[in-house]
Amino acid sequence: MNRRRFLALGIAIFALVAGLAGSTSAEVSSGDRSVFVPIVPCRLFDTRAEAPVGPRITPLGPNGVMTQAVHGTNGNCTIPADATAIALNVTTLNSTSASYLTLWPADAARPLASNLNWSAGAPPTPNKVDVKVSVDGKVSLYNLAGSVDVLADAVGYYVGHNHDDRYYTKVQVDSSLATKVTKPVGQSYLTIGAASFNATNPSQANGAYFQPSGSWSSLSAGFGACLVAPVVLPAGVVITQIDMAANDSTSADYVDANLYRDPVGDGVTTRLATAQTGFASTPGSITASETVPDELVDPNVNAYFLYVCGIRSSTALYDVTIIYNNPA
């Protein structure tokens, strides 16, 4: 290969690569694309007079156009109204002239394209055709020359799909958790989600959302209007801190997360710490944190538990986190 031909080949390759780099493709990261839904094959239509399916029982003539409904129940098929396209096995029969068939969305201009070709007197001629449907759920068919019968069997359809299908990596998940919970170096934590909390008065609660009767200030009088959850930690660890995260859709009054110890014996509970939010005049997230005087988790203690008080109908508890030191 001489130098001039080599240079020309290099320029051609560069142009090809540049063209590929500049071309556009489906944006899969957003999840915005159509997906295929297979179905049990069904006959959508058949124009043969001796075996009709659907309203038409005559062949398509020269320059003939027919419009076929897809959405809903048509022929032997039922296709949902959110189908954006239809997958068909299309077959032509009884042709009298060489011709071709074009399928397209009924609300669009007929394209200069061929989906299926045959010669005069050809045997049944099939082809797989995926065609977009019109806004009102229809497709059109065009025959160029002669007359021909057409039948179509649906094998599936396409629907819009706008969900993010990406997976998060371990690094991304760990980073998100680290942002949510500030964990001191060398310590561990236990996060107790909203689903673990129960209302002390079930008739006034629905899961972690609590609808107290009366004003929120009455909640400070006792535990009758609070949420409770057990805290289970290995014996010998030292609890050092509690964090609380919640949200209020209006404005937030004070919300308390109280850590209690219930010793074996006299049953007198001891409050170890209270993480209390301040008043928030605007809706949004509310958080609180409180240092716990080093509390050694004692196997002789009957139970540790959390009471969260101040939850209103507009307040959603996310979770409470217990931070602790592992045994040396």
Distance, CA of 10 to CA of 302 (rounded, Å): 80
Among 20-34, 61-75, 249-263, whose mean pLDDT is lowest? 20-34
The residue whose two tokens read 């500049």 is 22
CATH of domain 32-162: 2.60.120.340
Residue 254 backbone phi and psi in degrees, to 5: -65, 135
Half-sphere exposure of 290 (CA within 13 A, CB side): 19
User: 314-327: buried (b, 16+ CB within 10 Å) or exposed (e) per residue?
Assistant: ebbbbbbbbbbbee
Q: What is the mean pLDDT of residues 137-166?
A: 89
Q: Which pLDDT tens digit goes with each residue over 24-53?
A: 444 444 456 688 999 999 999 999 999 999
Predicted pLDDT of residue 176: 58
Residues in contact with 233: Cβ distance below 8 Å, sequence separation at least 6, in sequence order: 190, 239, 297, 304, 322, 324
12 has pLDDT over 70: no
β-strands 138-143, 205-206 pairing = unpaired
Distance, CA of 85 to CA of 125 (rounded, Å): 22
How buried is residue 150: exposed, middle or buried, by Cβ count under 10 Å (0-12/13-18/19+)?
Answer: buried
Q: Which pLDDT tens digit goes with each residue over 257-278?
A: 888 887 665 556 788 888 887 7
Distance, CA of 16 to CA of 19 (rounded, Å): 5
298 has pLDDT over 80: yes
Per the DSSP assignment, residues forming a β-bridge with 290 are 242
User: 103-118: buried (b, 16+ CB within 10 Å) or exposed (e) per residue?
Assistant: bbbbeeeeeeeebbeb
Q: What is the mean pLDDT of residues 191-220?
A: 49
Distance, CA of 158 to CA of 90 (rounded, Å): 17
Distance, CA of 120 to CA of 99 (rounded, Å): 8
State the span(s) of the chain assigned CATH 2.60.120.340: 32-162
Of 255 and 80, more confident? 80
Predicted pLDDT of residue 269: 75
138 has pLDDT over 60: yes
Distance, CA of 63 to CA of 144 (rounded, Å): 5
Enter the tokens of residue 309: 């008080």
Q: What is the mean pLDDT of residues 215-222?
A: 33
- Identify the architecture of domain 170-325 in CATH: Sandwich (2.60)
Distance, CA of 255 to CA of 286 (rounded, Å): 9
